[in-house]
Structure 1
Amino acid sequence: MKNKKSIKLAVPAPKPRNRVAQNPLLRKGGAHQRARSGERFASKQQARKAAREWKGSRDARLAPCPAHPAA
């Protein structure tokens, strides 16, 4: 079996992958938007402010006049 010739193949090393380019979290890119929770919080704040202003203006109208104290 000494006459058997071995054939050597030159296989190039595989190219290393760019893991950053294929990261599935990076595919979610796009325009930045405010979070939904932030939008909900802002609308709640706005509603509370409107309620405070409404209540304050209502209390000011119903408050007794200091020039005419109640008897």
Structure 2
Amino acid sequence: MKSNKPRNRIALNPLLRKGGVHVRAKSGERFATKQKMLKAAREWKGSRDFLRFLQWCP
């Protein structure tokens, strides 16, 4: 009769089962959102400066 292999007790640890889907950290999401906002502000300000320059040209 075939004997069973001993179980790996480390692999059965309940703390090792709490893994899940890998998602971006919340701090990374906040940083990316802030960078998008700053980029949009720079682009908006740049377009406003160009329009102001056109008003002063004869």
Task: Mark yes or no: TM-score above 0.5.
Answer: yes
Structure with bigger RCO (C-alpha 8 Å, 6+ apart):
1
- Whose radius of gyration is greater, 1 or 2? 1
Moved over 4 A (4+): none
CA offset at residue 27 of structure 1? 2.1
Q: Which has the higher helix share?
A: 2
| Identity value in percent | 55
C-alpha root-mean-square deviation of aligned residues, in Å?
Answer: 1.9
- Structure 1, gaps ≥5 residues long: 1-14
Q: 2:40 aligned to 50, 54, 61, which one?
A: 50
Q: Number of matched residues?
A: 51
Mapping for residues 12-23 of structure 1, pairs under 5 Å: 18-22=9-13
- Structure 2, gaps ≥5 residues long: 1-5
TM-score, normalising length: structure 1: 0.61
